[in-house]
Amino acid sequence: MKFYRYGQDVPLQFTALDAENLHYLAAFDCGDENINCLIQQDALVKRTVGYLFLNVETDEVVAYCSLACTGIVEQITNFSSVSYPKTRSAIEIDYFAVAKRYQSLKMSEEPESETLSAMILHYCIIHAKEIAQSTVGAEMIVLYSVPRACHFYKTIDEQIRKNAQKPRFRCSLWVIKNAINCDLRLNSFLFSMCLVQFSLFAHL
């Protein structure tokens, strides 16, 4: 197995999951067996649109993400103090996982260098926003996260805003903290609706 010192040395190819490259996922390991199994199932049943970040030098799946249509129901109160539900259209980043051996890999030797994982997530968010704005007209990007990963997503958002030159997208990113073990996703989710809105207003 080839060793990479920095993420910038990994030759990545972003490609849609299909019947010809599905077999690459068999060896994918993000370090959590439950998530590995869920990703395998997701890819097989084609419930979402999956994407691979392939290392073209080693034929490894460096990362996997999948997108799906969804919506967020909000309670709206009008000028007459009458409340009613309103659904805001959204695209969900249904799965996002990076292979364990690449997760902490920095992009370069610079002290402030971001990780390869952060760069890949950044790309996924941009891709989702482009679809939301140019193809389906969704209002937001939604990502359900286990509690331990929320800080990672927040950090990415802060970096994107810091480096922004001008707004590019209208939709924003919502991270919904999932308080239960991810393997229950096979059955039904009980989400703690702790919504953390990151106003990405797409500073991408």
Domain ranges (residues) in the chain: 7-198
3-state secondary structure of 20: coil
pLDDT at 197: 36
pLDDT-flagged residues of the chain (< 70): 157, 160-172, 176-204
Sequence-separated (6 or more) residues with CB below 8 Å from residue 129 = 141, 168, 169, 171, 200, 202, 204
DSSP state for residue 34 in the 8-state scheme: H
Dihedral angle over CA of 68, 66, 143, 101, nearest 10: 170
pLDDT at 22: 93
CB of 159 closer than 8 Å to CB of 200: no
pLDDT, residue 78, reads 80
Q: Phi and psi (nearest 5°) for 64?
A: -135, 140
For residue 63, what are its two tokens? 């990362």
User: Using CA atoms in the order 120, 170, 138, 141, what is the torsion angle rounded to 10 degrees?
Assistant: 40
Residue 54, Ramachandran bin (φ over 0: left; ψ between -120 and 50: alpha; else beta): beta
How high is the pLDDT of residue 171? 66
Query: What six digits make up the tokens of 18?
Result: 């299909």
Task: Give me the pLDDT at residue 60, please.
Answer: 96
- Backbone φ and ψ for 52, nearest 5 degrees, come out as -115, 145
Please compute Rg for the chain using Cα positions.
18
Class of domain 7-198 (CATH, top level): alpha beta
**What's the pLDDT tens digit per position in 8-65?**
999 999 999 999 999 999 999 999 999 999 999 988 888 889 999 999 999 999 999 9
User: pLDDT at position 129, please?
Assistant: 84
